[in-house]
Structure 1
Amino acid sequence: MKNSNVKKTKTLFQSLSFVVVTITLGVYSCRETEPEPLTATLPDLFAQKLEDTLQNRGVGYAFTIYEGTELKADGSGGFQSRMADPEGQKDFTPDTKLHIASMTKTITAMAFLKAASQKGLKTSDLIAPYLPTSWKLGAGIDKITFGDLLTHKSGIRGLGGSCLNGAYGENIYAGLKSLMALGVTSRGNYCYQNANFGLFRILIPRILGYAFTGNDATDDAQTQQRYLAFLQQEIFEKVGIQNAIASFPANNPTYTYNFPLTADQRGWNPGGFGLVLGAYGMYLTATEAGKIYASALSSGTNEVLTPALADSLIVKNLGCYKATSNLGTMVYHDGWWYEVLTPAGRGLRTIWVKFPNNLTCVLFVNALQYKNSSLIFPFNDGNIVGFVYNAYAKALQARGARVSAESVALSIEHPEPH
């Protein structure tokens, strides 16, 4: 999920709508490793393949791997803050909170499905009756459905009329109001926009019974509070997470950096996101995030979503994407955020991935690399989806699975950073 306040050009990915990424197994490891014993579990091997590249590179990172709803492996390294930062050097661990960026979109999709189930709504229902009555609705807004928002097919293209992701100012209450007044002309066409999910910060409280007052300041504050309270009650508490937040813990920020890191480089604090929750903004640890996505989407569980709602989310691509190969289909949502005030902005990259065999992986990295006019994941040519998949495929191979020693093709429909 990128912060595009002043970003004017597309990344090298954004000009593509569909690509096939060919991942060569055994290429990205940064050091020789001893062959793993065949008694090692798939999660342990998966973790080792991730560590082979991530460790000792100066980047702060953490990952967790769940089988069903049980944590099977985790790993971390680097620092959440460094010697040059005011807080001094602090280790990055699986319990370090980081802005999860657009991984939040999947949580918003979960929240809508739960609220809709409680109130008898469907993804095919129109959003207009649930928008503030004081808002002016432009042409085409009356045709948008909840499902359109959840799949980025609403026709919203931002105040600039382009398909570059909208700026922070478009996701505050006044910005969403302006977008609805602008109207849409291309409903049904995919266009990735944060506002599609930012609107749920307002829609979910209304679905649950909030009566708009017509006072923008009041309605803004109330919908923020009610949206976050619903997430806390219906999602976070179901897996034992208390006091979910939309900013770093007080006096304990996780900074982000440029890659490669230098000894004197100071980090950037992304700050708080209470005003724009919905599309991005939640702060979680890798352990907490793993609990949420594993519990919500693992077969046979219903801590967060019933199996029927989980199937609906995955089948309809609500707040998630799919990538396919001859190893099966994986479901995921990645995220990113970066500082735009320097030529090579300091940033972060996050992802959750659900694999076919009931494995769920979450990975956080607190650095981005500036390359070819783009800010990208520091490894695997910038492709975080392929990076996690590559580690998984190599783990299967180490367990004796019939995985090509040359390559495994991974098809990604929307490969741009989200």
Structure 2
Amino acid sequence: MGQSSFLPPANDTVFYMEKYIKLVDDLLDSMEATGTLAGYQCVINKDGVKNYSRAGGFSIHETDNDGVRVDMTTDRRHNVASLSKYITTILLAMVLEEHSIPFDTAIVSYLPSTWTDVDEPSIHPNHITPGNPCEITFEKLVTHRTCLDFEGGTENNACSNGVIPDCNAGFYYLTDDLLARLALPEDLTCCGQNDYQNANFELARVLITHIVYPDLDEEAANYNDISVLLYHSLLNQMIYQPLGIDAPWGEIALQEYHQTEPIRAYQYPFIPTNTTLTEDSSACHGILGAWLTSNWDRNAGGSGLVLSTEDYAKIIRTFIHTEILVSDSVKNYVIDNFLGLSLNEQTFGITPFGTFRNKNGRRGATCNGRAYSTSLFIYPNGLETVVFFNSNTRTINGQGIPIGPQGIIRDAWASSWKRDCNAFKHVTREGSLAGNWTAIDDPRTNGDPSKLLFITEELTSSNNSSSPQGVWYTNFGNWAIFNQDGATMNIAQRFNVLVIDEDNPNAFKHTAQLNNLTGAGLSRTIITHPELNNNPDAHIMITQNWQSTPVVYNVHPVGVFYDSSSGYWQIYNS
């Protein structure tokens, strides 16, 4: 498998999966308890396998369904909003790899031919001229780094820049609209370079279809419908079908979906008595919740896919952990270069433990704040989280970073790391005991004779031993604690065990030899080590280590003292 620079922290930190899941559970528990959520669904992958799934609340409130509540489940599907962009990025990666096209390639050669006609070009030269800062490549397109001046979604088409410069996050662009904007020069004062725009991904969708179907007639009267249908068809053929996902795609299936029982979108916090609709109720399709239908081709490429968290999490873990969709090298390029994310989104996941990828989406907020909120988190330790809320949970702080429930889940990952000294407790039991020793069964020590182990016995009960103790590495591939005097080890003795790597500069193995023995009866051994020499303030832990060659038992308890006359520490038999 290929190696990505998208790597977890150094091995002096440990990720606690149980803590991460508990933090997610605590959030969802508290939101359920307070009644602030309508419904939610969450799936967590770990190392390419679904590790956790949970859903709660309702997908349709009884007020909107003749008194019948429809519960939320992880296989219920709704509009995933801008999380569609990451799926478009994956599909584009598949198509580019299949046709041996690098992501940093300019798009000009793959646009509809009449758009780039030499005699009557339809595209402004700044977007297609090599070396021009505004030349569009596939990579710029899926990281929102084009200079395309798409107009905003307001009535007067004015720009609607927000915290995340957002010129048209919900605007509806047909292919003729795309062409009209490509014909204009850049306008960096408004909707220009680095702006988050759905239409960048709608243009990516157009390119996908023209790469696969180069003879597609862009001058046909129904070209837009054909282009979108081909995009959906490729999505189904290349991603859905191979993964066994039967999600609706194309005009007929999506219309049928909206005619059944689509998940409603609700306000956040959810208020069961708020039935007021200031907008046209026919557009909201509900009393408490909005039935956010849309044209099947609305924002195709940038939005509109209908998936569950089960579907979405399966696509992501297949993309990240296998080569079914793309090769490792292409996957790594997508991950390492933040493809599918805007420049602002690339800063969402910076933590002391590594940078993760976070993509968020929202569909709606037009019907009294009713909306779907969706989030994807791809972490650098083999963990991915997909969470959907059918209420308008996502808000943004002054730096453009999502806060609220999505922010809590995002921060839970960094809160689940901690520096680990590889310490644990070993309790003797019937299966671990063999005469005067107890076998340690722990992944931090098993199979590694080079580890340095330090032990102390807890004073707990009459089961404690008065025997001097040590450690040894057995022929069975694990470490053991033993009584030096041969006394039988008792059940329920408790030991604190510290495990240190042999290359740690502050830990080492000392062997008593003739040239370092001293004292009456050679009962002491002199330690020479740069961290200890002439350092009376050092804190020292020692544990005797038995080795098969030479076979030496020391039946005495041992201690340490500092010899101020020589400047050396010594180990002594007490």
| TM-score, normalized by the shorter chain, greater than 0.5 | yes
Q: Is the 8 A contact 1:157 1:193 kept in 2?
A: no
- Summarize the Cα distance change of 1:181–1:45 in structure 2 as closer, same or farther, 3 Å threshold: same
- The AA in structure 2 aligned to 1:111 is L
Query: Structure 1 residue 140 and structure 2 residue 126: aligned?
Result: yes
Query: How much has 1:243 moved relative to structure 2?
Result: 4.2
Please give the root-mean-square deviation of Cα atoms over the aligned residues, in Å. 3.1
Aligned counterpart, 2:79: 99
In structure 2, relative to structure 1, the CA distance for the partners of 1:145 and 1:185 (3 Å cut) is farther
Q: Secondary structure at the match of 1:140?
A: helix
How far is the alpha carbon of 1:48 from its aligned partner? 2.2
Q: Quick one: distance in 2 between partners of 1:401 and 1:257?
A: 47
Counterpart pick for 2:144 among 122, 142, 152 = 152
How has the CA–CA distance of structure 1 residues 44 and 191 changed in structure 2, closer, same or farther, with 3 Å as cutoff? closer
* Cα distance between partner residues in 2 of 1:337 and 1:400: 45
Which residue of 31, 49, 52 maps to 2:26?
49
Tell me, yes or no, if the aligned pair for 2:142 and 2:340 is still in contact at 8 Å: yes
Instruction: Tell me the residue number matched to 1:324.
Output: 350
- CA distances 1:293-337 after superposition (whole Å, capped 9, x unpaired): 122123xx2122221111011111110344111122211211111
Amino acid at match of 2:301: G
Q: Tell me the CA shift for residue 166 of structure 1.
A: 1.1
SS at match of 1:258: coil
Matched, 1:293 2:285: no
Provide the residue aligned with 1:128 in structure 2: 108
Residue 382 of structure 2 corresponds to residue 361 of structure 1: no
Of 239, 263, 268 in structure 2, the residue corresponding to residue 259 of structure 1 is: 268
1:177 CA drift (Å): 2.2
- C-alpha displacement of 1:109: 0.9
- 1:236 paired to 2:222: no
Please state how far the C-alpha of 1:283 moved relative to its aligned partner.
Answer: 0.7
Q: Which residue of 2 aligns with 1:311?
A: 332
Query: For 1:238 and 1:219, how far apart are their aligned partners in 2?
Result: 28
Q: Which residue of 30, 45, 52 maps to 1:73?
A: 52
Q: Which ranges of structure 2 fall in alignment gaps of 5 or more residues?
A: 1-15, 116-121, 129-134, 152-156, 160-164, 276-287, 424-574
- What pairs with 1:269-280 in structure 2 (closer than 5 Å)? 269-275=291-297, 276-280=299-303
In structure 2, distance between residues paired with 1:68 and 1:45: 19
Change (3 A) 1:214 1:46: same
1:194 aligns with 2:198: yes
The residue identity in structure 1 corresponding to 2:60 is: S
- Structure whose residues are more often helix by fraction: 1
- What's the offset of the Cα at 1:225? 1.6
The alpha-carbon deviation at position 401 of structure 1 amounts to 10
Among candidates 65, 69, 83, match of residue 62 of structure 2: 83
Which residue in 2 is equivalent to 1:413? none
Structure 2 contact 393–404 (Cα < 8 Å) conserved: no
Equivalence map 1:339-378=2 (5 Å): 339-340=365-366, 342=367, 344-368=368-392
Please report how far the alpha carbon of residue 93 of structure 1 lies from its aligned counterpart in structure 2 after TM superposition. 1.0
How far off is 1:111 after superposition? 1.0
| Structure 1: distance between partners of 2:270 and 2:422 | 37
CA distance in 2, matches of 1:40, 1:122: 36
Matches of 1:396 and 1:284, distance apart in 2: 31
Cα gap change, 1:41/1:384 in structure 2, threshold over 3 Å: closer, same or farther? closer
After superposition, the Cα gap between the structure-2 partners of 1:349 and 1:401, relative to the gap in structure 1 and judged at 3 Å, is: farther
CA contact (8 A) 1:100 1:350 kept: yes
Instruction: Name the aligned partner's letter for residue 133 of structure 1.
Output: S
Give yes or no for the alignment of 1:222 onto 2:231. no
Q: Secondary structure at the match of 1:257?
A: coil
Amino acid at match of 1:59: A
| Farther-moved stretch of structure 1 (142-151 vs 45-54) | 45-54
C-alpha offsets along residues 204-241 of structure 1, whole Å, 9 cap, x if unaligned? Answer: 01111332324353321221121111111222223221
What is the aligned-residue identity percentage?
22
- Compute the TM-score of the two structures, normalised by the length of structure 1: 0.76
Q: Deviations over 1:47-67 (max 9, x none)?
A: 423423332324210100111
Between the aligned partners of 2:370 and 2:422, the Cα distance in structure 1 is: 39
Of 361-370 and 186-195, more deviation after overlay is shown by: 186-195
- State how far apart, in whole Å, the 2-side matches of 1:118 and 1:102 are: 25
Distance 1:229 1:138, change over 3 A: same
Instruction: Tell me how far apart the structure 1 counterparts of residues 44 and 422 of structure 2 sit (CA, whole Å).
Output: 19
Q: Is the 8 A contact 1:68 1:295 kept in 2?
A: no
Query: Which whole-Å CA distance do the structure 2 matches of 1:170 and 1:243 have between them?
Result: 23
TM-score (norm 2): 0.57
**Structure 1 residue 365 displacement after superposition:** 0.7
Q: CA contact under 8 A between 1:270 and 1:339: conserved in structure 2?
A: no
1:213 maps to which of 214, 217, 221: 217
**1:388 corresponding residue in structure 2:** 409
Q: Is the 8 A contact 2:393 2:405 kept in 1?
A: no
Which structure exhibits the higher relative contact order, with contacts defined as CA atoms closer than 8 Å and separated by 6 or more residues?
1
| Partner residue in 1 for 2:559 | none
Distance apart, 1:385 and its partner CA: 4.6
Gap change, CA 1:134 and 1:43, over 3 Å in 2:
same
Question: Which AA in structure 2 matches 1:358?
Answer: G
How many Å apart are 1:134 and its aligned residue? 3.5
Secondary structure in 1 matching 2:150: coil
Structure-2 residue corresponding to 1:281: 304
Instruction: Point out where structure 1 has 5 or more consecutive residues left out of the alignment.
Output: 1-38, 403-418
How many residue pairs get matched? 355
C-alpha deviation, 1:91, in angstroms: 0.6
* Aligned mates of 1:40, 1:152 — CA distance in 2: 33
Q: Retained in 1: the 8 A contact 2:377–2:385?
A: yes
- How many Å separate the matches in 2 of 1:134 and 1:401? 65
- Would the alpha carbon gap of residues 272 and 245 (structure 1) be closer, same or farther in structure 2, given more than 3 Å must change? farther
More off after superposition, 257-266 vs 194-203: 257-266
After superposition, the C-alpha distances for 1:361-391 in whole angstroms (9 at most, x for unaligned) are 0000111269xxx789xxx983455321233
